[in-house]
């Protein structure tokens, strides 16, 4: 007794263009069916827009709060502190995918291209850090040792206070 096994022919191998053409044809059919379903479902409405427009309210502009500091250095440090509060604090990188920033990045962004002012702000911040952490060599090395944004924000507060009192004398 011999048994015969049915052998199916191998499906044809399609190249990329043929597969894309098949997907395009399938999507065209699905879109046509969806358009018919939309027309049927909205036929009883007096004025049905075939493509409904969703009105999206614009995001409100953040309220610009005036800086309480008149000196450029104190104002810059204050804005950098606010940026870390708003965008988030980043510990082990300059910035992360969520938009959080490290102290130096916050200062540079808020300096808006004024390299000298950014440098002065970094020096002032490092001085304020070293008042409480004498072993801090650089802002990045100190920042990497912190466990929360609290210490960073307090260092900015000390730097703002220091720059404000030095410049207003």
Instruction: Report the domain count for the chain.
Output: 1
For 94, the token pair is 């300059």
Place 153 in a pLDDT band, splitting at 50, 70 and 90.
Answer: very high
Pinpoint the alpha helices (H) of the chain: 16-41, 72-87, 103-111, 115-132, 139-145, 149-167
pLDDT at residue 53 tops 60: no
Q: How many CB atoms lie within 10 A of CB 128?
A: 21
Residue 82, in any domain of the structure:
yes
pLDDT tens figures, 78-110: 999 999 999 999 988 888 888 899 999 999 999
- Domain, as residue range, for 106: 72-167
Place 168 in a pLDDT band, splitting at 50, 70 and 90.
Answer: very low
Residue 49, in any domain of the structure:
no
Q: How far apart are CA 151 and CA 164, in angstroms?
A: 20
User: What's residue 159's pLDDT?
Assistant: 93
Residue 62, in any domain of the structure:
no
Q: How far apart are CA 20 and CA 141, in angstroms?
A: 52
User: What's residue 47's pLDDT?
Assistant: 63
User: What's residue 66's pLDDT?
Assistant: 72
Residue 156, in any domain of the structure:
yes
């Amino acid at each position: 007794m011999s048994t015969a096994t049915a052998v199916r022919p191998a499906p044809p191998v399609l190249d990329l263009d043929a597969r894309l053409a098949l997907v395009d044809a399938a999507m065209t059919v699905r879109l046509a069916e969806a358009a018919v379903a939309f027309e049927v479902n909205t036929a009883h409405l007096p004025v049905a827009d075939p493509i409904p427009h969703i009105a999206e309210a614009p995001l409100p502009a953040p309220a610009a709060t005036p800086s309480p500091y008149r000196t450029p250095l104190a104002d810059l440090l204050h804005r950098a502190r606010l940026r870390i509060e708003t965008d988030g604090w980043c510990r082990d990188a300059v910035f992360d995918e969520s938009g959080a920033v490290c102290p130096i990045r916050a200062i540079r962004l808020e300096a808006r291209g004024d390299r000298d002012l950014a440098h002065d702000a970094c020096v002032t911040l490092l001085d304020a850090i070293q008042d409480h952490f004498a072993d801090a060599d650089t802002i990045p090395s100190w920042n990497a040792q912190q466990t929360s944004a609290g210490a960073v924000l307090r260092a900015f507060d000390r730097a703002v206070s220091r720059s404000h009192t030095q410049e207003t004398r």
